[in-house]
């Protein structure tokens, strides 16, 4: 899935909101409080509903420009990245991209079906999240 949207907020503001969310997730999952300078290459395990666990790694964190992470489970590996481009002091473009590699034939089929059926819903929900960040400025 690829999404790109122009937002009426500074790139630094979007980046700050993204980092704030990641720091909260790390703290909630590990019980530890870390700061932004410790995020890149940070790895932690997150528990999801139904006693599902995933290993999350922050792959890249470039202030006001990019953020990427990967999530690994027994079923698949998922990578997501945000590219933030400043257009002016008050505008930016956010490009989001995600990729999933499924383990096993049945899981590949299941994930493909899931993407086909819920892809538009997920995209719509992501756009709404971007709009909420924009409106919080």
User: What would the DSSP string read from start to end of 59-90?
Assistant: EEEETTTEEEEEEE-SSEEEEEEEEEEE-SSS
Count of domains in the chain?
Answer: 1
For residue 26, give the CATH number of its domain.
Answer: 3.30.530.20
Using 50, 70 and 90 to split pLDDT, how confident is the model at 119?
confident
What does the pLDDT look like over 27-39, one tens digit per residue?
Answer: 999 999 999 999 9
What residues make up the domain containing 32?
2-135
Please give the model's pTM, rounded to 2 decimal places.
0.90
Task: Read off the tokens for 12.
Answer: 């630094």
């Amino acid at each position: 899935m690829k999404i790109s949207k122009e937002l009426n907020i500074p790139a630094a503001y979007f980046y700050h909101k993204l980092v704030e969310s990641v720091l909260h997730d790390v703290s909630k999952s590990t019980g530890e409080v870390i700061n932004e300078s410790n995020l890149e290459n940070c790895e932690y395990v997150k528990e999801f509903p139904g006693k599902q666990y995933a290993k999350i790694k922050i792959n890249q964190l470039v202030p006001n420009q990019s953020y990427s992470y990967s999530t690994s489970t027994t079923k698949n590996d998922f990578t997501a990245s945000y590219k933030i481009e400043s257009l002016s002091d008050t505008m930016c473009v956010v490009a989001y991209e995600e990729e999933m590699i499924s383990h096993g034939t049945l899981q590949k089929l299941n994930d493909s079906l899931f993407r086909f059926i819920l892809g538009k819903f997920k995209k719509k929900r992501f756009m709404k999240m971007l709009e909420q960040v924009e409106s919080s400025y």
